[in-house]
Structure 1
Amino acid sequence: MEFFATSNISATATDLQRRLTISELPRWCASVETVLGDATSSGEIYCVWGTFNINCEHLHHGVRFSLPDCPYVLQWTVTTGHDPIPQHTYIHLTTNRTEHDQELIDSINTFMADWKAGLEAHW
């Protein structure tokens, strides 16, 4: 499944890569409660779905975070510089399933809303 959110912050890809780090995830997203370990491009977090290993990689237009041990192979990107409004920042989350139960969908929607709110409040 795919989920999208748009944040009205002005950021460059370099800004996103510099500021959106594993160690800072709780600042940007309230659904990430704590960082248990951070080795820059990988680590461990405790979030709304439990404890997971996490990876972070820089992309052409921003960053990607992934939970490789998650049963849904959940990953999300925070990017900028895209049409239709290049100055906005986009959050895009995917899982490896075409359907989920409503409880998981609701928690993902909250996760996306937390990212949008965190970016807009703290950028």
Structure 2
Amino acid sequence: MEFFATASSQLSPDQLQARVTGPKLAELCASIDRVLEWSDTQDAGEIYCLWGQFRVRRERIRDGIRFTLPGCPNALAWTITAAPEGTLIHCTINRSEHDPDFIESIKDFVADWVEGLRNDSQ
């Protein structure tokens, strides 16, 4: 399943890559309660979020960044990229169907990213 949203921020790819770092995840997304640890050399760490505690990896990609939760049973991943209309948040899981409550929580997660990026760019 895929989930999309666009934040009204006009950040360049370089700005996104500089601002959206592992240590700032909890500041930028209300669905992420805290960053438990982060290694800048590995660009990976551990977070506690609305679904529990997970390892997370950050990767620079063309026009933005990608985060993955390698141990997540749904292989949740999200990208944040610069686009002409704003900043695109794209979140995926490896299921074509899922429990409605879980789907709603992913929509909330994406909406929290929209809000956090909008607040960060002001």
* TM-score in terms of structure 2 length: 0.95
Q: Quote the offset at 1:19 in angstroms.
A: 0.6
RMSD over equivalenced CA pairs, Å:
0.8
Residue of structure 2 in register with 1:27 after alignment: 27
Paired with 1:121 and 1:20, the residues of 2 have a C-alpha distance of 13
Paired with 2:62 and 2:106, the residues of 1 have a C-alpha distance of 25
Residue from 96, 99, 111 that aligns with 2:97: 99
Paired with 1:38 and 1:72, the residues of 2 have a C-alpha distance of 22
CA offset digits 1:16-56 (Å, max 9, x no partner) = 00010110001110000000110121100000000000000
Q: Which runs of 5+ in 1 are unaligned?
A: none
Aligned residues: 119
Q: Quote the offset at 1:75 in angstroms.
A: 0.2
Paired with 2:54 and 2:68, the residues of 1 have a C-alpha distance of 10
Residue of structure 2 in register with 1:48 after alignment: 50
AA paired with 2:113? W
Q: Quote the offset at 1:122 in angstroms.
A: 2.0
- Say which SS state the counterpart of residue 99 (structure 1) adopts: coil
- Say which SS state the counterpart of residue 33 (structure 1) adopts: strand
Cα pair 1:11 1:87 within 8 Å, conserved: no
CA offset digits 1:65-105 (Å, max 9, x no partner) = 00000000000000013xxxx15100000011101100100
* TM-score in terms of structure 1 length: 0.94
Q: Quote the offset at 1:121 in angstroms.
A: 1.3
- Which runs of at least 4 in structure 1 moved beyond 3 Å after TM superposition? none
Cα pair 1:9 1:120 within 8 Å, conserved: yes
- Percent identity, aligned pairs only, is 46
Q: Which runs of 5+ in 2 are unaligned?
A: none
